[in-house]
Chain A
Amino acid sequence: MAETRKKRFARPSMELVVGAVLITLIVLSALFAHQLFPEGFDRIDLMSRLTPPFLKSIHPLGSDPLGRDVLARVVAGGRISLLVGITSVIGAVTLGVTIGLIAGFYRGVTDMLMMRFVDIQLALPFILLAITFIAILGGSLLNTIILLIVSQWVQYARLVRGQVLALRDREFILAARAIGVKDWRIIVQHLLPNLTGPVIVLMTLNVANNILLESSLTFLGLGVDPTIPSWGGMLAEGRSYLQTAWWVSVFPGLAIMLTVLGLNLLGDWMRDHLDPTGKTSI
């Protein structure tokens, strides 16, 4: 008994170390982009346009068609991408998990109304939702985040509702009811901790998705001011140069990949760490 416990805390987790290092580096460099690149990401230098990477020390990762430094833009682009990606996921989780918990726990009419609403929203194409939304409210960073929350929460609601339906008939929930524990305490104390695993997995995958969605919105002119760089935006810009200047889109793509990798590793560690049995699920 005591052994399994010790093992769980003593194991130096590669997931935690690698994930934490990656995410810390990415977040810090995005926060201190101005200090790292005092010249800014916007300096146009048509003389050295499309410089390949690793050749000139002033453009270590090359330059784009306007001669702007790719490294500076990748670092600066992290600010929008991370902000949009992470806050929209947190918002969607909060909304989706709350609604999923209530719908799954109370069943009946509440459940039916909420889930029909979810179905309607799932049937609505994202682009249509986006165009309508932005046409009414106008494009801005905040509105982009709100739009992503509104379009993504349904996934969490469905996932959580399914989990709750499976959990609510388990004996430990029945035992809590038999003791007389109030509904909200059952939801918060017993249901919520038991569905963190799948929610965390979905969250880490969703961050990447939202970073890319932000870029499609920007591409369509529905998102953030297109002059501010973001990873998704850079990917889209570099698309037409892919055959001649791969670095313009590959490095922002790499940044997205490393962020997602780091978040996934952290997510996996958190899921395992939150489960006292130490079993891996999903």
Chain B
Amino acid sequence: MIESSSNEPSLIRVEDLTVAFGEEKVVENLSFSVRSGQTLAIVGESGSGKSVTSLSILRLADMSGARYLSGRVLFQTAAGERDLLTLSQQDMRSIRGKEIAMIFQEPMTSLNPVFTVGDQIAEVLQLHEGMSRKDALAEGVKLLKMVRLADAESIIGRYPHQLSGGMRQRVMIAMALACRPKLLIADEPTTALDVTIQAQILAILRDLKDSLDMAIIFITHDMGVVAEMADDVVVMRKGHKVEEQPVDAIFHDPQHLYTQTLLSAVPKLGAMNGEDFPKRLPVAVYDEAGARTEGEVRVQNTANYGVAPLVRVEDLVVRFNVKKNFLGRPTHRVHAVEEISLDIYPGETLALVGESGSGKSTIGRTIQQLQESQAGNITFNGKRFSDMGKGERRALRKKIQYIFQDPYASLDPRKTVGFSIAEPIRTHGILHDEGLIATRVSELLERVGLSASHARRYPHEFSGGQRQRICIARALASDPELIIADEALSALDVSVQAQIINLFMDLQEERGLSYLFISHDMAVVEQISHRVAVLYLGQIVEFGSRRQVFENPTHSYTRNLLAAVPIADPQKRVMLAIDDTEIPSPIRAVGNEPEHLRHKEIAPGHLVAE
């Protein structure tokens, strides 16, 4: 299907590739090809085999014990077409980095923390191009300029921890492009980045692809990113290619049921225009039985604004000391939260959105008493934290529950799931009889869509979505009034995400729960929340009902944030002018206090910073 427009031969052709680890085939009979100057996106959810495919092309999968049961990977090298699967690791080393380069998801872990950026770029050039160190460093500066790092001369002498996430990813791209590779494999390169930074990186990659006439294999789970980047798309599921089409066709005329399901599960920004309340939507499900939609549409009119707020946060300030002088006095502080005030009403979902450093998680952690505040008040059910005794504050941890981003990390790997779910029950002495506790755990597991027999298993035996359900069951165990969900959906596949959103909404309807929903994902926030607070550097820049903030975004930051969200439609691809503004650091010297924003009410309940 791909050899449509040009007669130019493919740069890389993967034919009938089957990769196995032990007895388990993780990629089966996969074929695709990419031409120079083209971007192929490989999309799939976790376990689809997309990352293994890229590691197999580079033969890095060998290191984890992969076996290639069938197929060829034909790559056009300077010396003609070679089958990469038949080359020795020795020969592969001269191809890796030089002809095929790769960038990874985590720019922090893929850079060596003890060497400067210059050392690491120079190493590649010295190794592959035989340059002297001096020439290599000079070339390094050019490369950093190519990825639009403004202050390249100074950045080259810095260590990775001195750079922001977006800058590090640019350094990674500069390193990958050092030898002008013909093929760049990008494995989820923007997943760990903020949306505005993601938009910058995508724009840089698109530009460089054209100017260097490079091919890109772009691996992602994000349909929005696919729409922004790809020329052709391969959709994978459980090691198989289910569909391959040019990008427009994938989005407008998906052939396979799985692709259709995947697309319908993607939350679309703007899909809720004109709605006053969040809405529970049916979920598209695809499994062995076929594709179908499950669940009903229901307007989530649960918030009760007629009573006193459940939680009231007034002028909250949270700062951390980061640098100390030799006398142990702090010289620099992170200004995580600066005079924030907000209310959460019973049955309401209040969303906190913002990018890294905006202080959104810190607010949640302070309400959960995982973090001390420096000033301000938090009131729960009309009583201030500061007026509560030790016992009362402990009891609050029964009323307020916290759900973390990574469900695997937040479950003790050595304890059964049943133990973890029972922990709040035992801790607060809600039930004492072991039999009753076991019954309650079974009920909770069944409520979140698992079965009672799962209680005896360990966290590693579950999938990501199941683990998040376990965390939700644990949060429900003490019958809380408020659940703080801190990026609780970010680590999940979109189809699972949709199911968990509905679970959250059902539980809210059933129990009148309030949620503090902390997220960077604007589309999810639009679907789930009653009111939204947009945070920037520890302060609220815009606050209002979901409809006010999404349909009438007034502050420029809110608008930027919304514009940077990739839209899952290639025809709406917006060529954003590359905006090189970094998110400023919330770290300030002692005495250099930030200015506090003043808010103007432009409509009832809609506050915008001046």
Contact = CB atoms under 8 A, between A and B. Distances in A.
A153 to B, nearest CB: 24
**Most central of B402, B411, B478 by chain A CB within 10 Å:** B402
Nearest to A177: B370
B415 A190 contact: yes
Contact of B415 (A178, A179, A193, A274): A193
Interface stretch (B11-19, B455-463, B597-605): B455-463
A276 interface: yes
Contact of B404 (A175, A182, A189, A276): A175
B: interface residue count bin: 20 to 34
A216 interface: no
Contacts of B414: 190, 193-194, 274-276
Nearest to A174: B370
Contacts, number: 72
A182 B478 CA distance: 16
Given A179-B478, A276-B460, A171 B410 contact: yes
Contacts of B406: 171
Contacts of A179: 397, 401, 423-424, 427, 474, 478
Interface in B404-447: 404, 406, 409-415, 423-424, 427-428
B539 interface: no
A4 B459 CA distance: 13
B300 interface: no
B457 A194 contact: no
Contacts of B413: 172, 194, 275-277
Nearest to B368: A178
Interface string B447-474: 0000000000110111000000001001
A5 B462 CA distance: 12
Contacts of B415: 189-190, 193
B423 A176 contact: yes
B398 interface: yes
Contacts of A21: none
Contact of A190 (B398, B401, B412): B412
B397 A1 contact: no
Contacts of B458: 276-277
A179 B402 CA distance: 8
A181 B413 CA distance: 17
A180 interface: yes
Given A180-B427, A193-B415, A1 B409 contact: no
B93 interface: no
B394 interface: yes
B409 A178 contact: no
Contact of A180 (B428, B457, B461): B428
Contacts of A4: 461
Contacts of B424: 179-180
A11 interface: no
Given A1-B462, A179-B397, A193-B414, A171 B427 contact: no
Nearest to B477: A179
Given A175-B411, A275-B414, A182 B370 contact: no
A102 B273 CA distance: 55
A218 to B, nearest CB: 41
Contacts of B398: 180
A170 interface: yes
A172 B411 contact: yes
The list of the 10 closest CB pairs from A to B, nearest first, reads: A180-B397, A276-B458, A171-B410, A171-B409, A178-B402, A193-B414, A175-B410, A1-B461, A277-B460, A172-B412
8 contacts: A1-B462, A175-B411, A176-B412, A177-B370, A179-B397, A181-B427, A190-B412, A275-B413
Given A189-B415, A190-B414, 14 more contacts: A1-B461, A171-B404, A172-B409, A172-B412, A175-B402, A175-B411, A176-B412, A176-B423, A178-B402, A179-B427, A193-B415, A194-B413, A194-B414, A277-B413
